[in-house]
Amino acid sequence: MGKMDGKVALITGGARGQGRSHAIRLAEEGADIVVTDICEQIEGVHYPLATKEELDETVALVEKLGRRCLGYQADARSGDQMREVTDAAVAELGRLDTVAINHGIGLPHGTDADSLSIWDTVIDTNLSAVWRTAVAAIPHLRNSGGGSIIVTGSAASLVGLYNNAAYTTAKHGLIGLVKCLAADLSQDGIRANAVLPTNVNTKLFVNDYNLSRFCPNKENPTIDDMRFTAQSLNLLPIPWVEPEVISHAVLYLASDDAKYVTGIALPVDAGMTIQPPGIGPFLGARLGELEYQLKEAREARG
Ligand SMILES: NC(=O)c1ccc[n+]([C@@H]2O[C@H](COP(=O)([O-])OP(=O)(O)OC[C@H]3O[C@@H](n4cnc5c(N)ncnc54)[C@H](O)[C@@H]3O)[C@@H](O)[C@H]2O)c1
C-alpha cells in the first residue's frame, strides 16, 4: 500500500528539477499527478526555464509508473491560468488532495536601478504566484474534505543571501504565507507547510550565470569548480543535494505521516541556516593549509 493511494497531487514547476522529482516520488506512492509549468522564458532570467518537451517527459515518467498524469503549460503568475488548469485537472481526475507549489526562479541583482524590474519579476513569480496557485486550489481541497499545501521556500527563507534581496524577501514571505494559510484553512482540514532546501542540483542552481558567480577567476568553469564554495555554505560535508532528497520531505508533508503537522517551515538544508558565525571547520582547515603553504614559501625565499 502506498502513502498516497487514491490521492491526486498537483505540482507547479513540474517539468524538471525538484518538481519532476516530487511528481515521481508521489506517484511511486500511488498518487495521480497534475504537473504545470510555464515552459517559456521569463524576461530577465539568465538561464533557460523548462521546455514543453521536458513537461511531456515528466508526464511520460509518471505514466510509466502506472499512474495517471496530466501536464499543463501554465504561468503560475496568472490566477486565471491556474484556476483554468486546476479546474480542468479536477474535472478529469475527480479530486485534489495535495498541492506542491514548487515553481520558482533565481535572479540575483544588485542595488542599482536595474534591480527595480528584477524585484517585481521575482516577487511576482516566487511569492505572489504562490498565493494565486493556492487560491485556485483551495476550493478543490475543501471539496476533497481536506488536503495538504506544500510550498517550496529555501534556506533563503531563514537567512539573507548576497545579491539576492528579491529572492530572499519572497522566500521569507512564504513562511508568513504558510502560517496564515495553516490558520485560515485549519477548520477545513487543510494543512499548509513549507520545505526549505539547501543548494539543489538543478538548473536554477547549476547554470552558466551561477558558475561564473561562484568561480569568478576560472575560465569555462564546470559544476566541479562550484563544489568548494557551495560546500562552505553547508554544515554537513556536501555541496548540494539531489532533488530526490527534497521529495522525501514533500512526501512526508503530503502524507498522513504529517497528519497533525501544519504551519511549519521544514529545512532540508544540510545545516546551512544554523551555521555558527565565523569561519567553520571546513573553511578553517583550508585556510590553515594555505597559511602553512605561505609560511613555507616565505621561509624558502629567506
Ligand atoms: N536549486 C536550488 O539550489 C534551490 C535551493 C532552494 C530552493 N529552491 C527552490 O526550489 C524550487 C524548484 O526549483 P528547482 O531547483 O527545481 O529549479 P528548476 O529551474 O529546475 O525548476 C523550476 C521550475 O519552475 C518553472 N517556473 C518558473 N517560473 C514559473 C512560472 N511563473 N509558472 C510556472 N512555472 C514556472 C521553471 O520552468 C522550472 O521548470 C524553486 O522554488 C526554487 O526557488 C531551489
**Tens-place pLDDT, residues 231-242:** 999 999 999 999
Closest atom of ligand 1 relative to the 20 alpha carbon: 16
Q: Which of 11, 16, 204, 205 to mutate to test the pocket of ligand 1 (most atoms within 8 A of CB)?
A: 204
Q: 162 with 225, same domain?
A: no
> Residue 189 has what pLDDT?
98
Q: 29 with 146, same domain?
A: yes
The letter for the amino acid at 126 is: N
For residue 1, tell me if it sits in a domain: no
Strands 32-37, 190-197: pairing is unpaired
> Residue 26 has what pLDDT?
98
> Residue 151 has what pLDDT?
98
- The answer, yes or no, to whether any atom of ligand 1 lies below 6 A from the CB of 125, is yes
- The answer, yes or no, to whether any atom of ligand 1 lies below 6 A from the CB of 152, is yes
Cell reading at 146:
481536506
Q: Which of 20, 159, 172, 200 to mutate to test the pocket of ligand 1 (most atoms within 8 A of CB)?
A: 200
- The answer, yes or no, to whether any atom of ligand 1 lies below 6 A from the CB of 205, is yes
Among residues 228, 234, 239, 148, the alpha carbon closest in space to that of 192 is found at 148
CATH at 104: 3.40.50.720
Per residue in 37-70, pLDDT (tens digit) is 999 999 999 999 999 999 999 999 999 999 999 9
Range of the domain at 297: 206-239+273-302
C-alpha gyration radius of the chain: 21
Strand intervals (E) in 147-295? 147-152, 190-197, 265-268
Q: Which helix (H) or strand (E) holds 223?
A: helix 223-233
- Alpha carbon distance 33, 224 (integer Å): 34
For residue 168, tell me if it sits in a domain: yes
> Residue 281 has what pLDDT?
87
Domain count, the chain: 2
For residue 70, tell me if it sits in a domain: yes
Q: 177 with 225, same domain?
A: no
> Residue 19 has what pLDDT?
99
- Alpha carbon distance 38, 53 (integer Å): 12
Q: 256 with 194, same domain?
A: yes
Closest atom of ligand 1 relative to the 124 alpha carbon: 31
Among residues 145, 255, 149, the alpha carbon closest in space to that of 192 is found at 149
Model confidence at 214: pLDDT above 90? no
> Residue 213 has what pLDDT?
86
> Residue 165 has what pLDDT?
97
Q: 262 with 286, same domain?
A: no
- Alpha carbon distance 193, 151 (integer Å): 6
Model confidence at 79: pLDDT above 90? yes
Q: Dihedral of CA 241/245/41/122: which sign?
A: negative
> Residue 80 has what pLDDT?
98
Q: 123 with 153, same domain?
A: yes
For residue 193, tell me if it sits in a domain: yes
Confidence grade of residue 302 (pLDDT, cut at 50, 70, 90): confident
Which residues form the catalytic set?
167
Share of the chain above pLDDT 90, in %: 90
Contact residues for 150 (Cβ-Cβ < 8 A; gap 6+): 98, 99, 100, 101, 102, 192, 193, 194, 195, 250, 253, 254
Q: 107 with 133, same domain?
A: yes
Per residue in 257-300, pLDDT (tens digit) is 999 999 999 999 999 999 999 888 888 888 889 999 999 999 99
Closest atom of ligand 1 relative to the 15 alpha carbon: 39
Strands 8-12, 147-152: pairing is unpaired
Model confidence at 216: pLDDT above 90? no
Among residues 268, 272, 267, 197, the alpha carbon closest in space to that of 230 is found at 272
- The answer, yes or no, to whether any atom of ligand 1 lies below 6 A from the CB of 49, is yes
Confidence grade of residue 217 (pLDDT, cut at 50, 70, 90): confident
For residue 2, tell me if it sits in a domain: no
Phi, psi of 194 (to 5 degrees): -120, 150
User: What residues pair up with 148 in beta bridges, in sequence order?
Assistant: 98, 191
Q: 140 with 62, same domain?
A: yes
Q: 16 with 122, same domain?
A: yes
> Residue 96 has what pLDDT?
98
Least confident of 9-23, 141-155, 185-199, 213-227: 213-227
Per residue in 141-191, pLDDT (tens digit) is 999 999 999 999 999 999 999 999 999 999 999 999 999 999 999 999 999
> Taking the CA of residue 60 as centre, how many other CA atoms within 13 Å lie in the half-sphere pointing to its CB?
7
pLDDT greater at residue 192 or residue 219: 192
Phi, psi of 219 (to 5 degrees): -80, 140
